[in-house]
Amino acid sequence: MADGSSRRLARSWLILLALTGASVLAVRFGGAAGGTAFVLGLSMLKVRLVILDFMGLRGQAAMSRALLGWCLVLALGGAAKAIAVVMSAG
């Protein structure tokens, strides 16, 4: 349940859109390794905003951490996959 004001929710939405745009630009213009880490980091920021502001889980530390953990594990898996692909190619 969202617990923020309309203004706060709108601000979070705008930040989420900006982070999405930054992800695409980072992949297009960034280097392979740095770009991957940056994009996955931006995704974690987006996930955090959705969990805390849109889902309203600021006061529920256990559930918000569990959801963040699910996303973090997959993001780290993505980073590990990128490293494995680079190492096998090189």
Site residues (vs other proteins, CB under 8 A): 1-6, 9-10, 12-13, 16-17, 20-21, 23-24, 27, 36, 39-40, 43, 46-47, 50-51, 53-57, 60, 63, 67, 70-71, 73-75, 77-79, 81-82, 84-85, 88-89
> For residues 72 and 66, is the Cβ–Cβ distance under 8 A?
no
Q: How far is the CB of 12 from other proteins (least distance, A)?
A: 7
Q: Which two tokens stand for residue 19?
A: 């982070």
DSSP 8-class letter at 31? -
Q: How far is the CB of 41 from other proteins (least distance, A)?
A: 10
**Ordered DSSP codes for 60-72:** -HHHHHHHHHHHH
